[in-house]
Structure 1
Amino acid sequence: MKENHYSQPNFSPPQVARGKQCQSTPPWRRRLLTFLLLVMALAVPRQAYAGAHFGTDYGSNSRYNSRISHHPTVDEPWITVYFWFYDRDGHDGYFLHNQTEPGHDGPAVYVDGKYICSPNWELSWASGNGNASGLEDQRGKNGWWGGTYTRNVDGVNYTVRFWDPRRENDQYWVEMVIYMDKMAVATEHDIKIRGMWRINDVSEKYEERTFRTQAIRNIFSDSPSYERTYGSLKVKGSYINPSYGPTTVAMSTAYFSGKNYWDPSTMNQAVYKTYSKGASSYNGLTLSYNEQGGSFNLYTQKSITVTPKDRPSTILFGWLKSAINDYDESRNVVAATDMWKKQISLTWQVYGSSFYKDGTWSLPLP
């Protein structure tokens, strides 16, 4: 593995302004000034001797900043966090093997507040006063490193892997890749790393850092219209993104929070259909339901399955909540009798969810 060496900017001490004529300083005064400067340098704490805390931020423009290095997208729906986990600048800083989560040694990883795994072997190199020499031997991996961690939480399968341990200056870095087999569009995710962190001879306490992803853009946006008859709801106008697919559309009148993916075959009171890539609407999809007579909410889930090359598959999904109003209501009904024409004329106004229209009907008299 070819190692990249980076160096911090080399700031030279400011030059001292001089006049055209300089007066010499006595030797004893120069020695006294040198001694005082040395005492001041030893008395002022510096980062190099204090050791770094896990959450240390070196500035938003610094390449020595831990960060999300890959945000999930429609085509690449995984998360990559690039962070340093061992610092040997001055007093070494590193994770201990203490249990962050009961029954699991070492630091822990959380996604959206949910415990996922404890990568103790990968992130904790504590042995005596640290084990930087052992970690140094790992830098030639240049590929997947350590173990693969999987856990199912609330119906989502999480997979965590580590890639290419390396060193930049006096810190050891690694990429942590997180896969989710179900991921909602238009939703951010928080990735937290937490563990007992030691700075030799200085401190020992739990430290953590949280990284927030950007949301996958919403490819399921829609403003559908419906035709309601007794016990039936028919889609009259809708939109499917033709750039993706196959797209499965599922509709139900049962309550769904819209935060989780539901297998359409397990949804209560649901109808669903899969449309091939290139389809632009799901017009005609009809949901039968128990007629209640009043207004209600309709929940629609759209989903696609993305399978990138050499990566696990992910179901991307999005929810739409639509308010279905009661049947149209006739108001302001007026009956007028015309004896010359021998007919009765009825006039009215029909009110729907967001409109009204005039109506007229004539009935001949016997």
Structure 2
Amino acid sequence: MNRRDFFRQTGTVGLGAAATATLAAPAIAQENPQINWRMTSSFPKSLDIIYNAATEIAQSVSEATGGKFQIQVFAAGEVVPPLQAADAVSAGTVEMAHTCSYYYVGKDPTFALGTAIPFGLNARLTNSWFSVGGGNELMNEFLAGYNLYALPAGNTGAQMGGWFRKEIKTIDDLKGLKMRIAGLAGQVMTKVGVTPQQIAGGDVYAALEKGTIDATEFVGPYDDYKLGFYKVAKYYYYPAWWEGGPTVHAFFNLEKFKSLPKTYQRILTDACAHANANMLAKYDAQNAKALRQLVAEGTVLRPFSQDILDVCYKAAQETYAEINAKNPAFKKIYDSQQAFKKDGYLWLQIADYSFDTFMMIQQRNGTL
């Protein structure tokens, strides 16, 4: 090859490479466009673990896209009332919300199955059901009718049974109480004489202090201490049989989510999965410390009696039978959870329960 041919050929290649680069740049820009979304939370900033799951999602997405996909997070009430977050997403007012599905049982009781139902799954089984048990697909099949798509984006673990102004010794002590309680648990509580109230987290203390309600449940020691419930109600009961492992979801406007580039969808999905695991880890780390503080400041810690649990369990089964008889969407998802729960607890009692029980005995004996 002579020198002239060499430069002619390499020059052609160079021009080809330059042309390819010129063509590729717009294509890359098109695949990774600048997108700006808004996400409304149902929680105040003071509840840092549950609220910060939303900010963690936004940060993860921004970092993974080099700042190309920005999500601005708003606390409860800043742009949308806290219990209307999913409505705003459905309508396209905002693109995303970080909220609990069971806040919307007034529209359809099926929404409750996305968060937690009385005597349902614990946190570990909930995550498993959503991830590999078909739960995510079933819930999103239902949510599509509301122009919504959702991904698990937080789990608190088993919650506490709430704060009461008076001691609850028998099922009769619940009769006539006005209690802040969300989801289907409110319907179950109605069967045992409680009048349920659905109140956003930031408004609960004032309602309890003024006597508008006689009792409240929220999450657990860490959040409950921050909200100051121990100052206006003395008795703290456990467990929250209505929330063994509740999921907090990231809700997306379905059309907006579908319109995202596939890479952004994947990044957003992974960010939600991280927030989901991180929230549970944080609550597990903080609740014990907060519980000690609550007891030190005069909180009276009490378990619900076996009688109360048995009566409420029966009331829950009656509630499900009534809903299943007239709501096919609820029944389809409920049946899936029930089948998953039976196998799940069969396994957990063999492995985790026996191990945890032994280790808890060591903790109580001071031998850990």
Q: TM-score, normalised by structure 1?
A: 0.26
Where relative contact order (Cα < 8 A, 6+ residues apart) is larger, the structure is 2
Q: TM-score, normalised by structure 2?
A: 0.26
**Greater strand share, structure number:** 1
**Greater helix share, structure number:** 2
